[in-house]
Amino acid sequence: MTELMLVVGTRPEIIKMAPIIRELQKRGLYFTFIQTGQHHDYNLSKHFIKELRLPEPKYSFKLNNSETVAQMSEIMIKLKEVIKKEKTKLLLIEGDTNSVVTAALTGLKMGVKIGHVEAGLRSYDWRMPEEHNRIIVDHISDLLFAPTDRARENLERENVHGRIYVTGNTVIDAVIQHMPLAEESSKILNKIRFCEYILMTAHRAENVDDPNVLKNFVEVCIHSPLPIVFPIHPRTAKRLKEYGLYNILKRCGNVQLLPPVGYLDFLMLMKHCKLILSDSGGLQEEATAPCIKKKVLVLRLSTERPEAIEKGFAKLVGVEKDIILQSIKEEMNSSDPLNHETPFGDGNASRRIINIIEQYVRSK
């Protein structure tokens, strides 16, 4: 029986929960670690946990469904049984995925208190499934760990019922903790054929499921003034092949396609690139870490990380080819250094979060 339960479903959640898990271990605090299996490659997620030298989850769900609603229902049923067995009192979740909202709803209906790490992010873009999830989770959580003052203000404006704490974002803790491990073990740079390169990622449904947007991205890769290193997400690879674009990219000498890479390899690619093109939310945060400090051109129309833009670490460039290419040229010609400190914390978010949880548990 352990009253504290940590639930993760995707690799970004594992990354951001890793510093919290280490903090709990350092203090000798017991917890139940659960992997929901939301990412389709179950074994890859298990390998990812091992790569970060985290403890094996006590429970790992193998899901039979890939369709969203069916998958969420399956997670809910399996999680309900574990909560009952472990007599869980506090459920700690991170982010805005389907696993997160499913775990929160399950805990709510079973009378379990909910702690939400990375609470209060808002894009105000209802096309994003993550926006639905994060709003739901914030309004049913009891402890809301906001990474920034902006996130706190969002929560206060919405009059959420839970207690709000500004802690910083554990993603900065994660980058700081894992960079030495990446430098020690990663060999990815030996595989890169360019001396200087732009690192690119794209995976969001509103981008890669739209053939016109995806064609724009391919054109950007072909005409970029600096070579592109592009680790391809499985969803993106599938769509590129469906739309007849994959072989165009593969044959382009200006582009190096990579299969999905591990977190440690990705840290090294970020550290050594000249610029980042991405539609990822978490990457906008990671790029601001002291040991990376790279500019991100955000391939989206909105972002839930406006702090990165305000500090000069990111720029919204949308999805139109000409605007993206012009933005790349401007950044390549810019001499403005990224001297600002990251707006997402000082690397001690996990310590603050566990301090708050310990105090909360004692008060109860």
DSSP, res 182: H
Tell me how crowded residue 361 is: count the other CB atoms within 10 A of its CB. 14
Classify domain 4-169+346-363 at the CATH superfamily level. Answer: Glycogen Phosphorylase B; (3.40.50.2000)
pLDDT value for 337: 80
Q: Is the dihedral of CA 16, 17, 21, 27 positive or negative?
A: positive
Instruction: Please give the Cα distance from 27 to 107 (Å, whole number).
Output: 25
Instruction: Please give the Cα distance from 323 to 327 (Å, whole number).
Output: 6
pLDDT value for 128: 86
DSSP, res 220: H
Query: Is 184-333 assigned to CATH 3.40.50.2000?
Result: yes
The pLDDT > 90 percentage for the chain reads 86
The pLDDT > 70 percentage for the chain reads 97
Residue 129 burial class via C-beta count within 10 angstroms: exposed 0-12, middle 13-18, buried 19 and up: middle
For residues 16 and 96, the answer to whether their CB atoms sit within 8 Å is no
Q: Give me the residue spans of the domains in the chain.
A: 4-169+346-363, 184-333
pLDDT class for 2, splitting at 50, 70, 90?
A: low
Q: Active-site residue among 203, 223, 233, 272?
A: 203
Most confidently predicted of 231-235, 283-287, 360-364: 283-287
Q: What is the mean pLDDT of residues 208-227?
A: 97
203 catalytically annotated: yes
pLDDT, averaged across the chain: 94
pLDDT value for 37: 81
Asked whether the domain spanning 184-333 has the same topology as the one spanning 4-169+346-363, the reply is: yes
pLDDT of 95 > 70? The answer is yes
pLDDT value for 334: 86
**What are the pLDDT digits (tens) for 78-89?**
999 999 999 999
pLDDT value for 264: 95
pLDDT value for 65: 81
**What are the pLDDT digits (tens) for 51-64?**
899 999 999 998 88
Q: Which residue has the tokens 């998958």?
A: 71
pLDDT value for 46: 73
Q: What is the mean pLDDT of residues 43-58?
A: 83
pLDDT value for 109: 97
pLDDT value for 44: 59
pLDDT value for 66: 81
What tokens were used for 106?
């399950």
**What are the pLDDT digits (tens) for 103-147?**
999 999 999 999 999 999 999 988 888 999 999 999 999 999 999
Main-chain phi, psi angles of 109, to 5 degrees: -70, -15
pLDDT value for 363: 85
pLDDT value for 137: 98
pLDDT value for 91: 98
For residues 10 and 38, the answer to whether their CB atoms sit within 8 Å is yes
**What are the pLDDT digits (tens) for 303-329?**
999 999 999 999 999 999 999 999 999
